[in-house]
Every structure is written in C-alpha cells, then in structure tokens.
Structure 1
Amino acid sequence: MPPPANEPTPASIGALLSDVRARTPLVHSITNLVVTNSTANALLALGASPAMVEGVEEVAEFAAIAGALVINLGTMDAGRAQAMRLAADAARAAGTPWILDPVAVGVLSYRSQVAVELLAFSPAVVRGNASEIIALARQAGAVQGGAASGGRGVDSTAPAEAALDAAKALAAALRCVVVVSGATDYVTDGLRTIGVNNGHPMMSRVTGLGCTATALIGACLAVTPDTLTACVAGMVFTGLAGEMAAELAPGPGSLQGGLIDALYLMDADLVTRRAHLVAPDV
C-alpha cells in the first residue's frame, strides 16, 4: 500500500473524475454474471474502458496489461475461481492494483475459502457489506472469533458501523484499504477512516450496485496511487449517481438506467459541490 497521502476532499475527488475521463483507464473485470452488462456500462459512463476477460487461457496476460483488476465473487465455480487466482497472481507480479469484492463470504464455504486464498495475492482494496467484511476478517485471522455466519445471501445482516473494527483490523493485516458499504459507507486503511454519506434508499432495490461501486473504485485505482482517495471517490460516484437518478426515477427500474446516465453527466464541479464526506461517529 502506498504511503499515506493527503486526506480526500470533495475537490480532490472531483479532480480524480477528470483524471479518469482524460486517461480512459483499462479496467479488467472478472465479475458477477448477473451484473456484467451493467458493470461494463457504468465503467463506460464514468469514462473508463471495461474488459470482461474471464477465460483461464487469457486472464493472466490481460491482468498484467490492465490499469486495474476487479475480482467479484458473485458467480462462483471452480473454473472461475482458477481464473481469479491466475489474474490476481499476474496482477501482483505486474504491479497492477486490484480489488476484491467478497460477495456472500461467510455464507457459503467454497467461496469463503477462495476469498481467503485470494488475499495472498495482495489486493489493494477489499470492498464488501458489513457481514462480508466481518466474516472475511475472521476467516483471514485479522480478528478473533472463528468463521462468521455472514449475511443473508448477498445481503448484510449488520449495519456498516458494526464492521468498522473488523475493517480496520483487516486493512492493517493486509496493508490495504477496506471499504464497508451501508447507509453510510466507510473507507479505512487501518489508521484513517472516512465516511461517505451519498446515496438513496431506492438503490437497495436494484441488484448489483455494490458490484458497480467495486468496479468504479477499480477505475479510480488505475489513475492514482492514492488508494484511500480512489476508494472514497468510487463510493462517492456511485452514491451521488444514485441520488441524481432517484430525483427523476419513480421506481427502481428507472433508477437503474438513470444511474448510468448520472455517471455520464457527472462532472468535477458537481462532485465537488455534492460529495458528502463525514467523520465516523462510532
């Protein structure tokens, strides 16, 4: 993990959006099959270039040339698990920053095992809901208490605040940044913790927006060495796009398409005005 940089601010997050648009980073995604199309469209709308390369024959080669790698455990089988291992290993060797989204870890044993194995390849970021982060921290040995039962499928049964201690411990153990999604999102490198208070309740009625946040963090990782700011920015972009979409959407179907439009219409000035960063209150 890079040495501590300046604290993220709305202005620096807005500037990072401009950097993504200027550089069009290549983001390699091995993601949930349920959300492959929406993830690719979100990356395109933000200004990145998505590549959904998942075959074991190609992932290592591609991860080495991408700007960032996104690994999402949402759709899991032995072949995909092997592709994930190969890609993560190649990313580590090439110095490509990568992010792990441990979907449903703590609920199902096979994916939990794969997630712990992937930690050995030094992710720059781990992003999950509270139940996933608590479970992963316990299974990785960052906190005591043995394996956690996790959430209910892909949904968390704990508020984000309940995972803060586990997130800090996991970040310190892995020397990475951990992001906990919730009503308020929390981003920590083990020493510093920043809350992001953008978003809208209707977002919980659309599948895959956590996956979208993970992918947008990947785009930000590709253009800055400041991992903490990249994570805060990805969460702001996702939450703010949800807010903007909800202003016009009568329901979640409209919000899903509107969120892609909002990412496309977002600019540095709007982000600077509307990014809502908070200090943790726990």
Structure 2
Amino acid sequence: MSDTAYPLDTMTAALHAARQRSPLVHCITNFVAMNMAANAVLAIGASPAMVHAEEEAAEFAAIADALTVNIGTLSSDWLAGMLAAATSAQRNGKPWVLDPVAHQATAFRREATARLLALRPAAIRGNASEILALSGGASRAQGVDSRDAVEVAEEGAVRLARTLGTVIAVTGEVDFLTDGERSLRFAGGSPWMPRVTAMGCAQTCVMGALLAVLPGQPFEAAATALAMFKQAGERAARDATGPGSFHWRFIDTLAAIDELQPRAP
C-alpha cells in the first residue's frame, strides 16, 4: 500500500473550523493526562469536558460534539462510564476515539478494550506496541511505554482498520495512519515528546475535537491531529532546554499553528 497525498485543504479547514466553532469534546481520560489534554484541546480552540461518572456519562455524550475514551487509569467505575458514554455516542451519531492504553498488560484491560471496540470507535490512536498487540501481534511492551517500532505495527494496523471499519493511528518517531485502504506517514516532532507525560493522551483528545468538525471524515480528522502535533513539537523544540520548557512551549506553539505543513519521512 502506497501513501496517499496529504489532504491539505481538508486538514487546514478542520483546524480553522475547530477554532471558529469551538466544539465540545467529552474527554474520558486518565488522571495523569487530564490537565495536559484539556490544555491541548483549548489550544486548538475547542472546549474540553472531563466527565467520567456512569451517572452522567451517557447524557453528556449525547450533548457533546465528540467523545474520547482513554483507559490509562482504568477502574470498574470508570469502565462503566466509558461504556455508557460510547453507547450513547453510537446511538446519537457522535464520533468517538479510543485510546487503548496498555490494553495488552492485564486481563481486565483486554476485556475492557474488547467491550469498547464492539461500540465501533471512528478512530483508534495508540503507540506501536499497543496497536501491534491489538492486531494480534506479539508486542514487547510491559506497560504504557512502546518498545516496538512503528513500522512493525503497520501491517497489523492496516488489517485491523479493515476488520473494524475504523481509522488507526500509530504514533511514534514517524506516525502511521491508515483506514485500511489509504495510508499516510508523518515525520517531525521532537525527542522531548516522549519525555513529557500525557502527550499521546492529549493527542487523542485533540483528535476527537477534529472529528467533531469532520464527523464523516475520520481519516482526514486524524491526519490533522497527527500533523499538528508533529509540527508543534518540532517548533517547540527549537528553544527548549528540557522537558519542562518544551512542555509549555508545545502548548503555545499548538495554539499558534494556523497553517499545516505535514512533513513526509
């Protein structure tokens, strides 16, 4: 499968639409990621809401423009909220993104991920080890960190996208995106990015914001999120002296992006 051309017009339109429309993004993410994810969503002009209680998750998912589900700090109570929200999103035609953090680590996570996948997310974003394991491959990961190269997960990602009828984003040094028929790769970013906690989790929530303004185009929405993070990371790294100074520069740079310039490997 050869890479398709970057859909630049659609990607740029999605970025501008997010800034103009400020879609409401229902973010069920983990404790570690909440602050970073909310700031990233705000930086692109969207509105984040961290709502995870089972008692209100379904109702809120029906109100929101998009939903994102991240299983990083999973518990039984949170899983009930996730399932209620995803069921509501599906019922109400709201696009949603799944981030299956370390789903391969325990039986509880594997079962939770299987139940969430049955609710048909529009997009799945994960690191190479997570996507490799999700597609049935043998991952070397033992926790949340990826120990596998993106290219090792690409074939499985394509197969998984076709099987599930969804978009798969594999993030790493060079990101890979596929819907089973088309594929794209994104270079750029910075070595500081894996040193800042919740960077990938925040990207999942931004992907949800872009899905909200491109609900019928998950491939283009995901491509926009990947391009934005690579571009912001590369720019933020120019003056950063460590992960702390990179962190706030990344948020500032993300907020300043007005034109997307994706870079192929």
**TM-score normalised per structure 2:** 0.95
Alignment of 1:48-197 (within 5 A): 48-138=46-136, 148=138, 151-197=141-187
The question of 1:276 aligning with 2:235 is answered: no
**Retained in 1: the 8 A contact 2:132–2:139?**
no
How far apart are 1:277 and its partner, in Å? 3.7
The aligned residue for residue 200 of structure 2 is: 210
Aligned length: 261
Q: In 2, distance between residues paired with 1:137 and 1:103? A: 14
How far apart are 1:200 and its partner, in Å? 0.9
The aligned residue for residue 142 of structure 1 is: none
**Unpaired stretches in structure 2, ≥5 consecutive residues:** none
Question: Superposition RMSD on alpha carbons, in Å?
Answer: 1.4
Q: In 1, distance between residues paired with 2:139 and 2:5? A: 35
1:249 pairs, out of 240, 243, 259, with 240
How far apart are 1:14 and its partner, in Å? 2.1
Q: Letter of the aligned partner of 1:222 in structure 2?
A: A
Secondary structure of the residue aligned to 2:192 is helix
**Retained in 2: the 8 A contact 1:104–1:150?**
no
**Unpaired stretches in structure 1, ≥5 consecutive residues:** 1-5, 139-144
The aligned residue for residue 141 of structure 1 is: none
**Retained in 2: the 8 A contact 1:68–1:97?**
yes
- Alignment CA distance shift 1:213-1:238 (3 Å): same
Alignment of 1:10-49 (within 5 A): 10-49=8-47
Q: In 2, distance between residues paired with 1:267 and 1:87? A: 32
The question of 1:230 aligning with 2:251 is answered: no
Q: In 1, distance between residues paired with 2:111 and 2:189? A: 32
Q: In 1, distance between residues paired with 2:6 and 2:46? A: 21
1:107-156 alpha-carbon deviations (Å, 9 max, x no partner): 22211110111011010001101110111122xxxxxx6xx455131111
1:48-75 alpha-carbon deviations (Å, 9 max, x no partner): 0001011111000011121110000111
Q: Letter of the aligned partner of 2:21 in structure 1?
A: R
Q: In 2, distance between residues paired with 1:58 and 1:176? A: 27
The aligned residue for residue 239 of structure 1 is: 230
**Retained in 2: the 8 A contact 1:107–1:149?**
no
Secondary structure of the residue aligned to 2:176 is strand
Q: In 2, distance between residues paired with 1:7 and 1:60? A: 37
**Retained in 2: the 8 A contact 1:69–1:99?**
yes
**Retained in 2: the 8 A contact 1:107–1:150?**
no
**Retained in 2: the 8 A contact 1:216–1:238?**
no
Q: Letter of the aligned partner of 1:275 in structure 2?
A: P
1:4-61 alpha-carbon deviations (Å, 9 max, x no partner): xx95333432222111111111100000110101100110011000010111110000
Q: Letter of the aligned partner of 2:262 in structure 1?
A: A
Q: In 2, distance between residues paired with 1:25 and 1:234? A: 15
Q: Letter of the aligned partner of 1:223 in structure 2?
A: V
**Retained in 2: the 8 A contact 1:7–1:229?**
no
Q: Letter of the aligned partner of 1:54 in structure 2?
A: H
Q: Letter of the aligned partner of 2:196 in structure 1?
A: V
Identity %: 44
